[in-house]
Amino acid sequence: MKKIYLVIVCLCILAFAVLPAQAFTAKDLTVTVQQNGDAEFVLNYDLSWVEQAAVFFKIADPAGELKQGIENELNRPVTVVSARSSSADVIIPSFADVSQKDGKTSLTTPSFTFSHAQEAINKYWFASLISPDFTPKTTTIIFPDGYTASYQNLIDIPSVSHQI
């Protein structure tokens, strides 16, 4: 009986050793800018089983971490509308600067980065077990008139100006 138990334990250890260290993977980010400069961020992502377990057991708080991370990065308060196991929806008041000139409105989004997200992950016990990818595969910024700016695989998103 002990031999069977030992074989099962060894197989489990071997299975965990050869499993890829999958982690949080940003898939796509859509930023919808309103006429008044407010914006809605919708981030779609995948979580590893370790991260899902951490959320399930309330060891990690994705909504709180997301809120804190964005507020620190953009230096403004945000509202997390929802944070699920595959997506998050965030409202950011006054995200874009709004200016008027000759009767036309210009909106300018700030540059922002996801490179600071690793710092938030490092404080959790499971940080050494994962290698997260915070770079969205596609980032799309949508302005009120339908104009879009898209970026592929950028962790640092540049500022975008658009006249509507």
DSSP 98-146: EEEETTEEEEEEPPEESTTHHHHHTTSTTGGG---B-S-SEEEEE-TTS
11-16-18-24 Cα dihedral, nearest 10 degrees: 160
73-77, 83-87, 122-126, 157-161 — which is least confidently predicted? 122-126
19-28, 77-86, 90-99, 110-119 — which is least confidently predicted? 19-28
Spatial separation of the C-alpha atoms in residues 78 and 71, rounded to whole Å:
6
* Residue 163 or 132, more confident: 163
- What pLDDT is attached to residue 12? 38
How many residues are given for the chain? 164
Based on the number of CB atoms within 10 Å of its own CB, is 66 exposed (0-12), middle (13-18) or buried (19 or more)?
A: buried
Based on the number of CB atoms within 10 Å of its own CB, is 125 exposed (0-12), middle (13-18) or buried (19 or more)?
A: exposed
161 is written with which tokens?
């100006």
| Residues 4-30: tens digit of each pLDDT | 444 454 333 434 444 444 567 788 999
- What pLDDT is attached to residue 95? 94
In terms of average pLDDT, the best of 60-69, 75-84, 95-104 is 95-104
Residue 25's φ and ψ, nearest 5 degrees, are -130, 115
